[in-house]
Amino acid sequence: MFNRIYQVLCDVCEVWRDEMKNFVRDEGVFLFCLIMPAVYPLLYGWIYNNEFVHEVPVVVVDDSRSGFSRQFIQMADASPDVRIILRANNLDEARNIVARQEARGVYYIPADFTDAIYEGRRTFVSVYTDMAMTLQYKSIYMTASNVVGKMNKNIRISRMTKLTTERDEDISAAPLNFVEVPIFNPASGYSGFILPCVLMLVLQQTLMLGIGLSEGTRRERRRLITVARTIPSRGYGIRLAFGKGLAYFMIYSIWAAYLSIVVPKIFGLVMIAQWRDLLALMFPYLLACISFGLMLSWMVRYRENVLLLVVFTSVPFLFLSGISWPLSAIPAFWQGVGALIPSTYAIRAYVRIATMGATIGDCMPELHVLWIQAAAYFAAASVVMWRTRKG
- Among 3.90.1720.10, 3.40.190.10, 3.90.1530.10, 3.40.50.1220, what is the CATH number of 56-173? 3.40.190.10
CA-CA distance, 310 to 301, in Å (whole number)?
Answer: 15
Q: What is the pLDDT of residue 285?
A: 94
- Reported as half-sphere exposure (CB side, CA atoms, 13 A), residue 51 has a value of 16
Nearest residue to 213 (alpha-carbon basis) of 289, 296, 285: 296
The pLDDT of residue 373 is: 94
Q: Are 81 and 73 in contact (CB under 8 A)?
A: no
pTM: 0.74
Domain with CATH 3.40.190.10 in the chain: 56-173
Could you tell me the strand order of the sheet in which 82-88 lies? 82-88, 56-62, 105-109, 126-129
Q: If we measure between CA atoms, which residue out of 282, 289, 350 comes closest to residue 322?
A: 350
Q: CA neighbours within 13 Å on the CB side: how many for 110?
A: 10
* Cα–Cα–Cα angle for 104, 106, 112, rounded to 5 degrees: 175
Q: What is the mean pLDDT of residues 370-387?
A: 88
Q: Give the pLDDT confidence of 35-93 residue by residue, as tens digits.
A: 888 888 888 777 766 666 778 888 998 888 888 888 888 888 888 888 888 888 888 88
Count Cβ atoms below 10 Å from residue 269 Cβ, excluding itself.
21
Do 127 and 107 contact (CB within 8 A), yes or no?
yes
Cα–Cα distance measured from residue 319 to residue 316, given in angstroms and rounded to the nearest whole number: 5
SS3 82: strand
Under a CB-based contact definition with an 8 Å cutoff, are residues 317 and 201 in contact? yes
pLDDT above 60 for 258 = yes
pLDDT in tens, 97-120: 888 888 888 899 888 888 887 877
What percent of the chain is predicted at pLDDT more than 70? 80
Q: What pLDDT is stored for residue 364 in this prediction?
A: 92
Lowest mean pLDDT among 7-11, 116-120, 151-155, 214-218: 7-11
pLDDT at 155: 72
Confidence of residue 290 (pLDDT cuts 50, 70, 90): very high
Does residue 169 surpass a pLDDT of 70?
no
pLDDT in tens, 181-218: 667 766 666 667 778 888 888 899 888 888 888 777 77
Torsion 297-298-302-308 (CA) sign? negative
172 burial type by CB count under 10 A (0-12 exposed, 13-18 middle, 19+ buried): middle
> Which run of H or E residues covers position 60?
strand 56-62
Q: What distance lies between CA 204 and its chain's CA centroid?
A: 13
Residue 226 confidence class, pLDDT cut points 50, 70, 90:
very low
pLDDT, the chain, mean: 80
